[in-house]
Structure 1
Amino acid sequence: MLGAAALAVPLTVALGAGTAQAATAACTAGTGPQQKNVERFLGRTADGKQSPADCRAIRDFQLTHGITPAAGYAGSVTWGVMELMTRQREAGSNPNASGACPVNKGRIACVDLTRQLSWIQDGKSLKLGPVPIRSGRDGYETRTGLKKIYWRSIDHWSTLYKVRMPYSQFFDGGQAFHSIDGSVWSPPGSHGCVNMRRGDAKAYWSMLKNGDNVYVYGRKPGT
């Protein structure tokens, strides 16, 4: 079972040549409106004053999670991602504490759009997760309600968006669970699918099958 540890947030990544060059350049962004909150999240001295080291730490976080511009500025988008991560961590090993996801359907994949979390449960028993996801952006919202997986394609290619969608499990008119290469925390979101980290999508593939229930509820921040 994957628990809260699955939501651990890496603050450094392997960078390409261009990104690495940007990461080592002078960081000159000024103090942002969320400076103190961002500093606290990153474990830095929360004095609300931007320093060169603060700027580099914020920019590293932005680079890791696909937040643009990655300038080291503590703005609302960066803080929004951090707030979301905090809520995900707080879910711990009881993501369905509110009982919002049905417990009378047997094996079911739950998707909480508000917290951008998903997990698999069997009745009241947590079987996998919770894991972070990225749902549809504004105008391409992931549709809510009770659904069923109707088609699985392990190495799917989207003819519409011209991208690979590994471990695709479709549950609603073209919307599917599938893995992505980038960060699931990078805003604004997908075109309706439930994006997952590769390991999480692979685990979902091994635990779900055609006909299994999927329940989507809540509302993604910013939609």
Structure 2
Amino acid sequence: MNSETSRQIARGIAGALLLAAIWELSARGLKLPAYVLPSVSSILSGMVSDAGNLFAAAQFTAAEALAGYAVGCLIGMAAAVLITMIPAARAVVLPLATAINSVPVVAYSPLVLLWFGMGMASKIVMVAIAVSFTIFLSTIAGLDRVDRRSVDLIRSFGASRLAVLWRLRLPTALPLIIAGMRVSTVRSVLVAIVTEMLGAYGGLGWVIYQAVLQIDFVKVWAAIIVASAISLAFFGAISFIERRYVFWK
């Protein structure tokens, strides 16, 4: 870990502590009721007392988000490579993908829950739908940014279309692909939680829904903070991969 990364982490921690202090003082000083804004100390106390349930729910949501994220990345990249290798397919694939994603992802939830049930499968499908379009667009943008003269040059040495893709297009596109992957991390967790709130047997979304029914707003905030931690960890992991392996960016 270099000094710049250490400074960024230190600034992030300092900012989080400052926000927590302002939050705590505001909630206690203004004597805000829990349904408006509970204090940070009460939320942390609730997280400790309910740590087992929150941890189990976090594992459930993280597994759904990761599985859906992986499937969505594969679908998005495969579709982008397809229309790059077969340009005639662009006229079919691009409008179809745009039409599917012109509707908010949540609108598909009732159908997906009906088709795939209340378990993890429906959440994985929803996350995959949400992630695939973002990866699809970023991959297309990256593959299309290759200089035509570079393509002509490598083909003059006898490179096949597959070799051009592997040796030239993908390395050029990788910075944009990884940027799309980084943006999709937060979206994957968000979609998993929203879908859990509409129907699930577990997960942080289910915990939030049940806590609202029980008027337990401290637990709602505890689940939200855990979900935020998952998103930050996921985002940080992809950012680390970007810095480590996309070194030419």
Instruction: Name the TM tier (shorter chain).
Output: under 0.3
Higher strand share: 1
If asked which structure has higher relative contact order (CA below 8 Å, sep 6+), I would say 2
Higher helix share: 2
TM-score (norm: length of structure 2): 0.24
